[in-house]
Structure 1
């Protein structure tokens, strides 16, 4: 009787300890999944900001440059017509802001984009700012399956990191075929082990790392949102591609107005 009682007494404390460790392990797993979802959201946003920046430069850069050149030409025409020293100084300042530009027929002739402007050559241009629904679905599934934070050793983490880099690149270019191929490749590969460390100290350290990683991601997301491109995208968060088209139309209108003004000044100067 005494031995049995002693045995039961000595074994009793282990149950609560095991229960606490199980709860801690569940908390770690939940934090891992939450971090992965957050990383997916931040990476998706980063891709959109980067694509918007590239497309903005590619599609609208020539138009901004043309507007600067037209401003200089208009200022020079005004100065030639008036001969006023202040107008001449303004013309010098306007010309100093731009480099010699090709004629409008070189910028707007030939192969034009849907917005009326020939795109700047890019060997790997993104198809659009926001990849399509299918590309988004494939990317999220792959990121949840192969995320490096699920690795339990350095070798597995390296393998996953290399694979996710390929996934991110395919997603940036909305390459649905490549994303499907990557999904098949991952499914055919080794099944990653998902066992969590058993020691409470390791689990606590894991939770701390997850919290630090989330803070860094939040800072990155805030930095992207506060950037000039991020703020511009914020004007049309649901359809940033439409925003680019709207800006392009506005710039084309401004180009036409500047050219009309320049033509009028040239006529006035010739007539004078």
Structure 2
């Protein structure tokens, strides 16, 4: 049985224990089971369980002993449903960063209103946010302020149907939930050996070979590394969101240029010619002179915008929206190569170059080019590993901890910058038109084609008026 079959079988067994699959007798309030031995199967089954919960409008809390499994769980979550899942690390400094990033991701996905934010889970989420509108707005305002020491609004975790994190964090949140899965991948307090407070069904999974020491505090360097690993995944999600939004908008912009931009420029030229013709008939009329100047300036501006859009369209190598496989590969690559995870300036320069190439490949929809970037990264990483092979790792020093703290703060700053850039993008007039066009498309209409049709009628009318003025 391959891993996929094992994941499917594991999920089915868990659902029976959680009362989801029809098995005759009602499921107990508290059940125990042994987790799959293969970690890949365990992580895959947990990700599948989150999808099952979201698609069936169930709330789910996954409780771990520590942060050890969080990066892998986060990375395995369904890409389309990831913004509905709040993954909170135990590290106090990293928690608000992760929360802000997830709120920004959710806000962005809702603003884009693309195919990856449709379906029953997203319908339920929109309804959830509608009922908690004040809390949602407070959360967005808290995110926008980005003050490191400002506590998030009380109850903000309620906005997410899936919550994942170590037991002290989840216990502090104290949220009622349909399903709770306790992962005994390290020491859990005795009080967690029973039904989770406020949960309809609790499943305790014993992870074989665990014992990561969930209640022992790691040294500061190890804790920073864990924070960076998890925050690096949040960063990759946000980089993917920004790249996708920009790619979608570029594709729309190219079509707008093709159907609408040229017609607007032509209509403005005709309006300028009309104003000039009217001025010729009344050269002493100050109002006509002002109108002619304004029309001429407007026509020049429209032409400049049309030509600039044409240059951008020619530079764009693809007008296609990236598919799911390309998104997954880009996210995976961004997690590894992002410049804000660099060890030093030389490493940053190399990563910056790779990230730029990855962005170009993603925006072009070029999976082969993305694989070439990945191969270059692997070759460079292997070379670095060979260089360091056999060296005795130094004990964590103040310099090491400082470097890691700087790296963590750089990720935080980049997350804030992406959030601000997405806000700017979604606040633009072009994106407002894009959103309107997307809504019209769901209604079976082509908004840009309708605009082009109206412009054609206006152009024909302007041409007729101009001909009448010239020959009259």
Compute the TM-score of the two structures, normalised by the length of structure 1.
0.63
C-alpha deviations, 1:155-190, integer Å up to 9, x for none? 333222211111111222222332233334434443
Of 315, 321, 328 in structure 2, the residue corresponding to residue 124 of structure 1 is 315
**Residue equivalent to 2:459:** 258
Of 220, 228, 246 in structure 1, the residue corresponding to residue 421 of structure 2 is 220
Higher relative contact order (CA 8 A, sep 6+): 1
1:45 pairs with 2:236: no
Structure 1 residues 268 and 71 mapped into 2: Cα distance closer, same or farther (>3 Å)? closer
Asked if the contact 1:170–1:178 (Cα under 8 Å) also holds between the matched residues in 2, the reply is yes
Of 33, 53, 68 in structure 1, the residue corresponding to residue 233 of structure 2 is 33
Structure 1 residues 227 and 65 mapped into 2: Cα distance closer, same or farther (>3 Å)? same
What are the residue-to-residue correspondences of 1:46-85 with 2, within 5 Å?
46-50=246-250, 52-53=252-253, 56-57=256-257, 60-75=260-275, 85=285
1:156 pairs with 2:354: no
Q: Give the whole-Å Cα distance in 1 for the aligned partners of 2:331 and 2:438.
A: 20
Gaps of 5+ in 2: 1-214, 304-308, 386-392
1:169 pairs with 2:360: yes
Q: Give the whole-Å Cα distance in 2 for the aligned partners of 1:78 and 1:158.
A: 60
Instruction: Count residues with an aligned counterpart.
Output: 236
Asked if the contact 1:63–1:255 (Cα under 8 Å) also holds between the matched residues in 2, the reply is yes
How far 1:67 moved relative to its partner? 0.9
Structure 1 residues 257 and 40 mapped into 2: Cα distance closer, same or farther (>3 Å)? closer
What are the residue-to-residue correspondences of 1:183-198 with 2, within 5 Å?
183-191=374-382, 198=396
Structure possessing the higher radius of gyration over alpha carbons? 1
Q: Does 153-162 or 74-83 show the bigger shift?
A: 74-83
Of 335, 346, 352 in structure 2, the residue corresponding to residue 144 of structure 1 is 335
SS state of the match for residue 190, structure 1?
Answer: helix
C-alpha deviations, 1:206-232, integer Å up to 9, x for none? 433432332222222222222333333
Structure 1 residues 238 and 229 mapped into 2: Cα distance closer, same or farther (>3 Å)? same
Q: Give the whole-Å Cα distance in 2 for the aligned partners of 1:176 and 1:69.
A: 42
Structure that is richer in helix per residue: 1
Q: Give the whole-Å Cα distance in 2 for the aligned partners of 1:17 and 1:176.
A: 42
Asked if the contact 2:337–2:351 (Cα under 8 Å) also holds between the matched residues in 1, the reply is yes
Asked if the contact 2:340–2:410 (Cα under 8 Å) also holds between the matched residues in 1, the reply is no
How far 1:34 moved relative to its partner? 1.8
Structure that is richer in strand per residue: 2
Q: How large is the Cα RMSD of the aligned pairs?
A: 4.3
How far 1:239 moved relative to its partner? 9.4
Asked if the contact 1:71–1:94 (Cα under 8 Å) also holds between the matched residues in 2, the reply is no
SS state of the match for residue 36, structure 1?
Answer: helix
Compute the TM-score of the two structures, normalised by the length of structure 2.
0.40
Structure 1 residues 44 and 89 mapped into 2: Cα distance closer, same or farther (>3 Å)? same
Asked if the contact 1:74–1:258 (Cα under 8 Å) also holds between the matched residues in 2, the reply is no
Asked if the contact 1:142–1:183 (Cα under 8 Å) also holds between the matched residues in 2, the reply is yes
Asked if the contact 2:270–2:459 (Cα under 8 Å) also holds between the matched residues in 1, the reply is yes
